[in-house]
């Protein structure tokens, strides 16, 4: 059968069919992702750090964790020498260069560049 044979198309469509979690009824998209989702209910954490023993439900989360041990900081600021473990940390850092203040206090409407600055402000209110 060729690449576009009816048999292969049916198999491909079936593998892309959304599945419903029998526990929480969340609809899971993507082939093989239901077993990964089920770990959130079972508590299974099959991926262990060989250095400190911390365990994870997903291998990609273990790989990110390993950066703490290796010192790898793959996300770098183009405006200064700052480097980060996570993309969201770089995104938050960029607010310093752009002047963006996306976190606003719902009480006084003061705006902050970082969410933790807003949280500290709210505790003082």
Contact predicate 83/76, CB 8 Å: yes
pLDDT at residue 33, rounded to an integer: 92
User: How many other C-beta atoms can be found within 10 angstroms of the C-beta atom of residue 118?
Assistant: 19
Q: Give CATH for domain 77-123.
A: 3.30.160.60
Q: What is the pLDDT of residues 58-115, one digit of tens each?
A: 999 999 999 999 999 999 999 999 999 999 999 999 999 999 999 999 999 999 998 9
**Domain range list for the chain:** 45-72, 77-123
Measure the CA–CA gap between 41 and 7, rounded to whole angstroms.
35
CATH, domain 45-72, list 3.30.160, 3.30.190, 1.10.390, 3.40.1350 = 3.30.160
Q: Mean per-residue pLDDT for 18-27?
A: 95
Phi/psi at 17 (5° precision): -65, 135
Per DSSP bridges, beta strands 55-56 and 47-48 are antiparallel
Q: Mean per-residue pLDDT for 12-37?
A: 86
Q: Where are the alpha helices (DSSP H) in the chain?
A: 6-15, 33-42, 59-70, 87-98, 115-123
């Amino acid at each position: 059968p060729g690449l576009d044979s009816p048999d292969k198309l049916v198999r491909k469509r079936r593998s892309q069919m959304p599945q419903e979690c029998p526990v929480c009824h969340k609809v899971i998209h993507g082939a093989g992702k239901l077993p990964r989702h089920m770990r959130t209910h079972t508590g299974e954490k099959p991926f262990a750090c060989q250095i400190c023993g911390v365990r994870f439900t997903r291998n990609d989360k273990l790989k990110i964790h390993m950066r703490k041990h290796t010192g790898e900081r793959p996300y770098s600021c183009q405006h200064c020498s700052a480097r980060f473990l996570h993309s969201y940390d770089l995104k938050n850092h960029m607010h310093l260069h752009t002047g963006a203040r996306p976190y606003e206090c719902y009480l006084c409407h003061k705006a902050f560049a970082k969410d933790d600055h807003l949280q500290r402000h709210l505790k003082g209110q």
